[in-house]
Every structure is written in C-alpha cells, then in structure tokens.
Amino acid sequence: MTKLEECFEEGNLHPIPPSEKKARDSLRTAHENLDEAQEGLKNGIIRAATNSCYVAIFHGARAVLFRDGIREKSHFCLEMYLNTYVVSGKLERKWILFFAHMRSRRDINQYGFEPPLTREEMERALEMASEFIEEMERLLTIDNEKTEIR
C-alpha cells in the first residue's frame, strides 16, 4: 500500500463534493497569509513570517484539493496528494520538496529549539511561496484528468 493509499485508508484524506468556491476562498487565504509573511519579514519577525509563509502555501495547495473534491486532515497527506500532480507531469517535483521543507520549518518554529531562518533564507522562501501559489493557481486552470488513486 502506498503512503497516499494509507492517507485515504486512515481517513487523513477523504472525498468531499468538489468546490470551486472553497478553492477560491483557500487561494484568497493563501494570498492574505503571504502578505502577512512579507510584513513580518519587513518588521524582522522571522518566526511569524515563516509560519505565515507556510500557511500561505498550505492554503494554495489546499485549493487544489478542494477543486478535486478532497479534504485533508494531515499536512503530510496533502503533500502526498499533491505528488499525484508530479507523477502525472503537471507539477515539478521542486514544489513538493519546497512544501515539505516549509512544513518542516514551521514544525521547528512551533515545537523545536533551532534558530529561525535568516533574513536572506526568508526572502528566498517568500519568493518561492509566491511562485508556489502561482503554480497552484495554474493547476486550477488545467483540466483535471483524475488518476484513480483510492
């Protein structure tokens, strides 16, 4: 059984009615959090900027799931689902790696004792987050030929 299949089996991903409205709402939230992350960086609040940056990309990815009729209860499983777009050739692998990296940084901020990202690392993360959200918006505009994954 694949990790994605386990996500469905364990209920961490489950089908819901597809919703363009929820997808749009999630994108709006992604952009709002990206703005907050940029403001946090501007004010030197790196940990808060990192967390807002992650929430931005989380909501960007979540928009795709809402459009596809999938609800997540696990950030890891959201990542596993997005990987189906990599497998289908519709998304570059670097975006999954970026999502995983920022998820890890968010976890470190919340639960660990490591220092925050540097200002330069945060600037780069915000640039990539903006591109990530653009990629999610692009995925929302392409015809979604679902692969049987459940």
Q: What tens digit of pLDDT does each residue of 91-101 get?
A: 999 999 999 99
Q: What's the distance, CA 128 to chain centroid?
A: 12
User: Does residue 136 fall inside a structural domain?
Assistant: yes
Confidence band, pLDDT 50/70/90 cuts, at residue 150: very low
User: Does residue 92 fall inside a structural domain?
Assistant: yes
Helix (H) or strand (E) holding 15: strand 13-15
User: Does residue 104 fall inside a structural domain?
Assistant: yes
Structural domain count of the chain: 1
Task: Report percent pLDDT > 70 for the chain.
Answer: 95
pLDDT over 90 at 147, yes or no = no
Digit-coded pLDDT (tens) for 4-15: 999 999 999 999
Per-residue pLDDT, averaged over 35-52, amounts to 97
User: Does residue 114 fall inside a structural domain?
Assistant: yes
User: Does residue 148 fall inside a structural domain?
Assistant: no
Confidence band, pLDDT 50/70/90 cuts, at residue 109: confident
Please give the DSSP secondary-structure letter assigned to residue 145: -
pTM (predicted TM-score): 0.92
CATH number of the domain that 119 lies in?
1.20.120.330
Confidence band, pLDDT 50/70/90 cuts, at residue 145: low
Domain span holding position 106: 3-10+18-141
